[in-house]
Copies of this chain bind each other. A is one copy, B any other.
Amino acid sequence: MARPREFDIDEALEGAMNVFWTKGYEGASLQDLLDAMNIARGSLYKAFQDKRSIYLAALDRYDRTEIQRAVDVLRDRSVGDGAMRVRLFLEDARAAVARRHDRRGCFLCNAAVDRAPMDADVQAKVFGMMKRMESAVAAALAECMQAAQWPAKRRAQTALTLTNAYLGLRVLARSGSPAKDLAAVISATTQGCGLDE
């Protein structure tokens, strides 16, 4: 019917996600977003409503891409047994730091700290993602040499502990802890959970 959009909306969203991921909500100015999205003010406010809804869309995108990747690893039997998959899941936080000094941390975790307290929609999305991760960890534990024979309750508790540890790791990463410190936390955590024997 009319002139088609010139930019890829998901590509633009990826740019926005990276800005929010790095700078947080308040720290990201409209100008920052426009630069990263490579579009003009007018186009932005036609494709989205306002800054907040871009943020929400960026969170959704993070869910669809990054969180989904983590969940996939945790559920992928071809990767190894459950313990291996959990280790890999945590390892990802360390690898991001080691690879490229990536100090963005986890967007989910950042959002939990800087927006969830004052935005119910953000909180709901954050909860959803956390629950999804926790379920995936639990699923991995159920397919793990050591944990498979534990009572269900202990597995559930361990899934909770591991998900919680993941959050802590991402906070450490964002605050600038070196990769080796993260490695220490990871091995301490998996050993503590009895996943290394």
Residues on A lying within 8 angstroms of B by beta carbon are 22-24, 26-27, 103-105, 109-110, 112-114, 116-118, 123, 126-127, 130, 157-158, 160-161, 163-169, 171-172, 174-177, 184-185, 187-189, 191-194
Contact = CB atoms under 8 A, between A and B. Distances in A.
Per DSSP, chain A at the interface is helix
Q: In the assembly, how many copies of this chain are there?
A: 2
26 contacts: A22-B117, A23-B118, A26-B26, A26-B27, A109-B171, A113-B114, A113-B171, A113-B174, A113-B175, A116-B175, A117-B175, A117-B176, A123-B176, A127-B175, A130-B172, A157-B188, A157-B192, A161-B165, A164-B165, A164-B169, A164-B172, A164-B185, A164-B189, A171-B171, A192-B192, A192-B193
Given A161-B189, A167-B167, A193-B192, A113 B110 contact: yes
Nearest to A182: B164
Contacts of A194: 192
B174 A160 contact: no
A157 B174 CA distance: 21
- Interface centre among A123, A157, A165, A192, by most chain B C-beta atoms within 10 angstroms, is A192
B24 A175 contact: no
Nearest to A113: B113
Nearest to A112: B175
Closest 6 CB pairs of A and B: A26-B26, A157-B188, A112-B175, A164-B168, A167-B168, A168-B168
A167 B109 CA distance: 11
Contacts of A185: 160-161, 164
